[in-house]
Every structure is written in C-alpha cells, then in structure tokens.
C-alpha cells in the first residue's frame, strides 16, 4: 500500500470541500479521479502531495514511496535545453558515472594493487559502479530518446531552449520528465491537453505497462477507459470508489443509485408499518408489550439516509424548423488557406454530405480543420475549388473559443438580442436548461467561465433550430456530465452534423463517418473512431508489407543482375563468402548469449557479501563485467555489418 486516507475533511471558510474522505492507493494500480469543476479534485491532490494540509483525518504514506506530480506550473527550468532537462532527472546516476571515471584514472596511476590506498579507491569505485548499474545507467540516453520520441519530440532539436517552446510543448516535456523519473506514484492532472492522437495512443500504452501506481485527473473519457482500472468520484464533497474504467463506472454508479433508492424506499415502508402498528396497539393492554417491542426495534434500527438526487445537469435538445434537400453539401478540389499571405494548409479536398449524416473531421494539429469549417461557411475566403450548399440548408455554428459571442454583453442580453421576439421568461427558461440561472444571467460574457460560454452558445443553437450544425471542438470546456448530455443531444438531432473534435469518446459514440484531412486531400472512414483506428492499423501493416515486398523484389532483381553481369567464378566465390558470413553470424549469436549469461552470473556474484567485502576480488569482477559488455557491443557491431553484407 502506498497511501491510505481515513475520515479526511477540508474546508475553506464556510465552504466544506471534502467530507469524511476514505481512500486507498495500492502499488501498481491505476486510478482515475473525476468530479464536476470545483468538486475538490485539485484540493485532494494538493493534500496527497503535501502542498496543502487537511483539517482533520489520518493520512498514511509509505515512507519509501516517491511521488511525481504534473502541475499546472510544470516546474521546468526555462533556460535549460530539452536534452539537459531530461538528463537532470538522472543527476545522481551521472554523478556516480563521473566519479567512476575519476577513480579509474587514480587506480591506473597506482602500481601496487595491494596497497591500502588502492583498496580504498577500488572499494569506492565498486560502490559507485553498483549504484550506477542498479539504476540502469548505461541505458539513460536510450530511455530519454524513447520517451521524447513517444511524447512527440522526435523531430525537435535536443538543444532547443525550453523557454522557446509553446505551452503545449512544455506540458508534453513535463510529462516526459515525470515518466523518466519513474516515481512509485505518478499523479497526472489533465495530461491529455495539447496531445495529438499519436501521442495519446503512445502515452496510453506506456501507462498501461507502467510499473508504479498512477492517479489521473482527466475529462478525457476514452483516456480513462484505456488507462485506469479504478474510479474515484468526488460528488458533494464525498468520495465514492468504483472498480473498473470510466464506462464501467457509469454502469456501476447507476446500479448503486437504483439500489440505494430501493433500500431507502423499502425501509421507509417498513418504518411506516411499524409506526402504524405502534400507534394502533400501544394503548391496548393486550398488545401494549408487542407495541413497545416494536418501539425498541425502531429505535435500534440503522436509518438509511435519503439518497442524494442526481446533480443538476444541463438539458439540450437540438431541433430543426424545416428539412433540407437530400444533397446538403458538395465540396470539390478545395484549397484551404489562412492569413493575408494566403498560406495554404491543405489542398484538393473533395467531400459530399447527405441529409442527416453525422460526420467528424480529424487531422494533425495545424492541418486546417477549423479553417476548413470556416471556409465552407464563407467565413474566410477559399483559394481554389467549389463549395455548394443544398437548397433549404440553414446553418448553426459553434466556434471553438466562442469568439462569435459578444463579450461586452451580459449573458441574458446576448441571447435575447439575437431573438428579440421571444419572451424574457422563455429566454430565462432556455438559459436555465443549461444551468445559467439567478445572478449568472446578469454576468458579462467576458466574466463567465469557458464552460458557461459553451452552454450559452448551445442555447443559441437550440433557438436557431437549423438543419445543419457545425461544431468546432464542442467538448473542450465541458465537464464529464455535460459531455454525456451533449452526446445524447447530438445523437437525437435529426439534422446534419459536421464537427471537429479531439474527444475520442465523442468520436466513438456520435459520428457515422470520419474524415481525416491530409495536406493533399482527405481519407474517408465509414465508421467511428475505433473503426478508424482499425483501418489505419491495417493500412499501415499493408504499407509495411508492400515496402518489404518491394525490397525483396529489388534484392532479387539485383541478384539476377549480378548473375548475368558477373563471371561464374565471381558467383561461386560470392556464394562461399555468403556461407562464411552466415556461419559467423550464428557463431556471434552464440557468443553474445554466452557473454550475457556471464554478465548475469557476475551481477549475482557481486551481491554476495564474500565478494563485495573483498575489494580486490570485487574489482576483478567489475573489470570482467565491463569487458563482457564491451565485447557484446563489438559483437553486435560485427553482426550488423555481416547482416548488411548478406542483404545487399
């Protein structure tokens, strides 16, 4: 067990944030922490890492445990470079290596290996070497390269200064550093922000096989489904644990709610029956004793508290005034560009959209997805190509950052000014549906939260009743319950839906078709996100097979050319040389296996007190270990050269 929390409470003034919290974090388990915005997730994390103290309760932390915490302020050294920042994780290991090099020089200068000085230096060397190898010091650069590549820095110069990176790149680099630290408990607060699909998939696979425990706060439901096997939910200050991933949690929570309501109702019926019996029989001499017995039973009963109702959720319903014709949108050979300089983001986009289709647009960051949505609405000019909307099409547009709202107006007026013919009570009702009530409706749009602005934009779409809805990242500012509501509303919508999203859970539930924008066209997938992933993996495998087949054909053609262009003598000599190379390859593989077995035996011996207490013997073992490793490196180099010769 890494952490145990019992009966923890935390308040800020009169606001009770956490009430009677109990949780346990076990080794090698993966947990998701969820709750609406302001539920107390960050407060709980701050208490766990020691940045905030609890008001009451008990917290046990394993004294041998290390914690890695991804914070809003990522803690990177801004003046350092990417490579130096990653190597700083291993500063103690690198210091041990530096000390080893210094001691090697000193030992080489001493000729008397039996002297006390040589023994002292040798012992110090052995101590540093054991520490260095126990920390896998020889593979530091390999680990750094693997993590940086996985987190999307494959094409980034390692000497890049951190201060020049974007906010998203700094977040990814902070995650990379945490992964290199390999803490016993890895705490990630919204780690999926700024990650593309490829990096997300890599991070998911890495966390699934992570050797320590993981605690993740995230609004990314697909990510939670893939990476966690337990859910902690904070609701109304209380924490409830569920076994399983996010999708399993949804089922278990509903089952638990139904069970608690049923238990409460059954007990209330039982209490009413007992009280009725008491009221009717207490005054009768013949039944008074029985009634008193019921009183005692009632007093001893553990009363079940009335279950809390569900938290208020927004209510969305997107309707249409009139149906469009069957052909909704036709795009042909469209080039998408941005800026006065007309920088081209993607070319040759062609697309047909039919009535009632639900289409998701995906693609690399910066490929022009948002610009595509604006271009097909004539909000920004196209460079080339044709865009034709069908008859009777009316469009509602959700802009990613809601910049099409008037930030100077109050929320009520922003909606009412757009629909002046609707009564104030109806406007308030619509705002109430998205939980914008009371004083919130009088706040300027610039003051309300990103989530509240998103809900205000949904109000506009509900009242417009268009038959085409275009959405650009609609779930970015929504909490988990709001995302669930939005998904249902989109599934129930009878019109045509075109949307851009990085929300893979949404991409799995809503679209019938996924369109991936490339630099020079589009790829169409007739299914949801999981279907897209399957087809993409299959396409990648087919391309790899094609490359291998082309390579084999090239080698075969090359061999045929050699046969026809060279003498019989040369061909015979080449075959002899190939046979010699193959025999040597097998010999090298045997030698590598032998040296690896010897290394394993040496490392085992070096943990024996008889060995490590004998400085001279320990030094001999260390030197032999180094020699074996150097020999393996040479053997691998020879193997690679011979293999290359055979495959020419």
Q: Which CATH number is 609's domain given?
A: 1.10.287
Q: What is the pLDDT of residue 356?
A: 95
Whether residue 607 is contained in a domain is answered as yes
Count Cβ atoms below 10 Å from residue 109 Cβ, excluding itself.
Answer: 9
Identify whether residues 350 and 268 lie together within a single domain: no
Token pair 């929504």 is at which residue? Answer: 478
pLDDT tens-digit readout, 328-377? 999 999 999 988 888 899 999 999 999 999 999 999 888 999 999 999 99
The average pLDDT across 123-150 equals 91
Whether residue 48 is contained in a domain is answered as no
Strand partners of residue 360: 499, 514
Q: What is the pLDDT of residue 569?
A: 45
Residue 74: exposure state from Cβ atoms within 10 A (0-12, 13-18, ≥19)? middle
Longest Cα separation, the chain:
125
Q: What is the pLDDT of residue 498?
A: 97
Which token pair is 478? 């929504």
pLDDT tens-digit readout, 416-459? 999 999 999 999 999 999 999 988 899 999 999 889 999 999 99
Domain end residue (candidates: 527, 544, 574): 527
What's the pLDDT band for 261 if we cut at 50, 70, 90? very high
Q: How far apart are CA 616 and CA 123, in angstroms?
A: 8
Helices (H) and strands (E) in the chain, counts: 20, 18
Identify whether residues 512 and 378 lie together within a single domain: yes
Whether residue 482 is contained in a domain is answered as yes
Q: How far apart are CA 458 and CA 432, in angstroms?
A: 12
What's the pLDDT band for 312 if we cut at 50, 70, 90? confident
Total count of domains within the chain: 3
Q: Burial letters for 460-480: b for 16+ Cβ neighbours within 10 Å, e otherwise?
A: bbbbbebbbbbbbbbbbbbbb
Identify whether residues 348 and 403 lie together within a single domain: yes
Contacts of 345 (CB under 8 A, 6+ apart): 336, 337, 338, 366, 367, 368, 371
3-state helix, strand, coil in the chain (%, to 5): 50, 20, 30
Percent of the chain past pLDDT 90, that is, above it, reads 63
pLDDT tens-digit readout, 552-578? 777 766 666 555 555 444 466 677 777
The rounded mean pLDDT for the chain is 89
CA distances to 96, 114, 132, 133, 601 from 608, in Å: 22, 22, 18, 16, 11
Whether residue 117 is contained in a domain is answered as no
Whether residue 523 is contained in a domain is answered as yes
Decide: 335 and 383 in contact? Cβ < 8 Å.
Answer: yes
Q: How far apart are CA 324 and CA 494, in angstroms?
A: 11
Identify whether residues 451 and 594 lie together within a single domain: no
Among the residues of 475-528, which ranges form H helices? 480-492, 504-509
Whether residue 158 is contained in a domain is answered as no
Q: Which of 473, 502, 472 is nearest to 220 (CA)?
A: 502
Domain end residue (candidates: 507, 527, 547): 527
Q: Which of 414, 355, 349, 429 is nearest to 382 (CA)?
A: 349
Identify whether residues 374 and 440 lie together within a single domain: yes
Identify whether residues 449 and 333 lie together within a single domain: yes
Q: What is the pLDDT of residue 627?
A: 84
Residue 357 phi, psi dihedral angles, 5° rounding = -75, 150
The long-range contacts involving 619-622, CB below 8 angstroms and separated by at least 24 positions, are 619/107, 619/122, 619/125, 619/126, 622/125, 622/126, 622/129
Q: How far apart are CA 350 and CA 331, in angstroms?
A: 5
Whether residue 387 is contained in a domain is answered as yes
pLDDT tens-digit readout, 596-619? 888 878 877 776 767 766 656 776
The sign one gets for the Cα dihedral 287, 290, 292, 298 is negative
Task: Specify the pTM.
Answer: 0.76
Which token pair is 4? 């145990």
Identify whether residues 509 and 589 lie together within a single domain: no
Q: Name the residue range of residue 468's domain.
A: 327-527
Identify whether residues 391 and 442 lie together within a single domain: yes
CA distances to 20, 94, 423, 427, 429 from 420, in Å: 49, 70, 8, 10, 15
Decide: 430 and 412 in contact? Cβ < 8 Å.
Answer: no
Q: Which of 328, 358, 373 is nearest to 487 (CA)?
A: 358
Whether residue 155 is contained in a domain is answered as no
DSSP state of 161: B
Q: What is the pLDDT of residue 342?
A: 86
Identify whether residues 280 and 384 lie together within a single domain: no
Q: How far apart are CA 351 and CA 447, in angstroms?
A: 39
Indicate whether 630 pLDDT > 70.
yes
Identify whether residues 290 and 334 lie together within a single domain: no
Q: What is the DSSP string of 538-590?
A: HHHHHHHHHHHHHHHHHHHHHHHHHHHHS-HHHHHHHHHHHHHHHHHHHHHHH
- By three-state DSSP, how is residue 196 classified? coil
Outline where DSSP puts E strands in 263-379.
327-338, 343-354, 358-362
Identify whether residues 517 and 582 lie together within a single domain: no
Q: What is the pLDDT of residue 16?
A: 92
Decide: 336 and 382 in contact? Cβ < 8 Å.
Answer: yes
Describe the strand order of the beta sheet including 185-189 as a list of residue ranges.
67-70, 185-189, 213-217, 30-34, 230-235, 238-243
Identify whether residues 280 and 353 lie together within a single domain: no
Q: Which of 449, 346, 45, 396 is nearest to 217 (CA)?
A: 45
């Amino acid at each position: 067990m890494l952490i145990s929390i019992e009966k923890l409470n935390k308040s800020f003034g009169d606001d009770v944030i956490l009430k009677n919290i109990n949780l346990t974090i076990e080794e090698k388990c993966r947990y998701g922490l969820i709750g609406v915005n302001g539920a107390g997730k960050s407060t709980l994390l701050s208490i766990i890492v020691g940045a905030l103290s609890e008001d009451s309760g008990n917290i046990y932390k394993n004294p041998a445990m290390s914690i890695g915490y991804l914070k809003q302020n990522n803690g990177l050294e801004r003046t350092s470079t990417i490579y130096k920042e990653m190597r700083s994780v291993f500063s103690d290991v690198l210091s041990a290596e530096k000390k080893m090099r210094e001691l090697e020089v000193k030992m080489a200068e001493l000729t008397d290996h039996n002297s006390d000085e040589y023994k002292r230096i040798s012992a110090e060397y052995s101590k540093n070497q054991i520490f260095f190898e126990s920390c896998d010091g020889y593979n530091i650069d390999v680990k750094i390269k693997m993590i940086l590549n996985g987190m999307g820095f494959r094409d980034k110069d390692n000497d890049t200064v951190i201060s020049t990176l974007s906010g998203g790149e700094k977040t990814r680099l902070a995650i990379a550093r945490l992964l290199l630290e390999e803490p016993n408990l890895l705490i990630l607060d919204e780690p999926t922000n700024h990650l593309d699909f490829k990096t997300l998939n890599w991070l998911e696979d890495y966390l699934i096989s992570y050797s320590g425990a993981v605690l993740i706060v995230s609004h990314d439901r697909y990510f939670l489904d893939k990476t966690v096997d337990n859910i902690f939910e904070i609701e109304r200050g209380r924490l409830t644990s569920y076994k399983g991933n996010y999708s399993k949690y949804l089922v278990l929570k509903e089952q638990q709610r139904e069970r608690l309501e049923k238990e409460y109702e059954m007990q209330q019926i039982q209490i009413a029956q007992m009280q009725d019996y008491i009221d009717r029989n207490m005054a009768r001499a013949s039944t008074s004793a029985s009634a008193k017995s019921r009183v005692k039973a009632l007093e001893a009963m553990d009363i079940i508290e009335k279950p809390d109702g569900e938290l208020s959720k927004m209510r969305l319903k997107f309707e249409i005034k009139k149906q469009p014709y069957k052909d909704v949108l036709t795009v042909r050979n469209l080039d998408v560009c941005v800026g006065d300089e007309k920088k081209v983001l993607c070319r040759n986009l062609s697309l047909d959209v039919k009535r009632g289709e639900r289409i998701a647009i995906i693609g690399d960051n910066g490929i022009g997805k948002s610009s595509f949505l604006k271009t097909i609405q004539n909000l920004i000019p196209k460079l080339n190509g044709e865009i034709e909307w069908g008859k009777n099409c009316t469009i509602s547009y959700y802009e990613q950052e809601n910049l099409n709202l008037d930030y100077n107006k109050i929320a009520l007026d922003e909606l009412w000014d757009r629909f002046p013919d609707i009564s104030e009570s109806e406007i308030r009702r619509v705002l109430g549906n998205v939980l914008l009530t009371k004083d919130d409706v009088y706040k300027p749009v610039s003051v309300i939260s990103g989530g509240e602005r998103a809900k205000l934009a949904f109000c506009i779409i509900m009242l417009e009743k268009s038959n085409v809805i275009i959405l650009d990242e609609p779930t970015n500012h929504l909490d988990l319950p709001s995302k669930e509501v939005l998904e249902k509303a989109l599934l129930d919508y009878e019109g045509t839906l075109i949307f851009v999203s990085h929300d893979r859970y949404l991409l799995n539930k809503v679209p019938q078709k996924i369109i991936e924008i490339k630099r020079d066209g589009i790829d169409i997938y007739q299914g949801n996100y999981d279907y897209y992933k399957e087809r993409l993996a299959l396409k990648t495998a087919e391309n790899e097979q094609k490359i291998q087949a082309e390579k084999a054909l090239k080698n075969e053609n090359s061999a045929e050319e050699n046969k026809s262009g060279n003498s019989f003598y040369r061909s015979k000599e080449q075959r002899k040389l190939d046979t010699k190379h193959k025999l040597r390859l097998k010999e090298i593989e045997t030698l590598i296996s032998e040296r690896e077995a010897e290394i394993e035996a040496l490392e085992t011996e070096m943990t024996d007190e008889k060995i490590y207490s004998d400085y001279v013997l320990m030094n001999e073992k260390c030197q032999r270990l180094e020699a074996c490793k150097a020999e393996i490196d040479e053997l691998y180099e020879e193997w690679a050269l011979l293999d290359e010769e055979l495959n020419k």
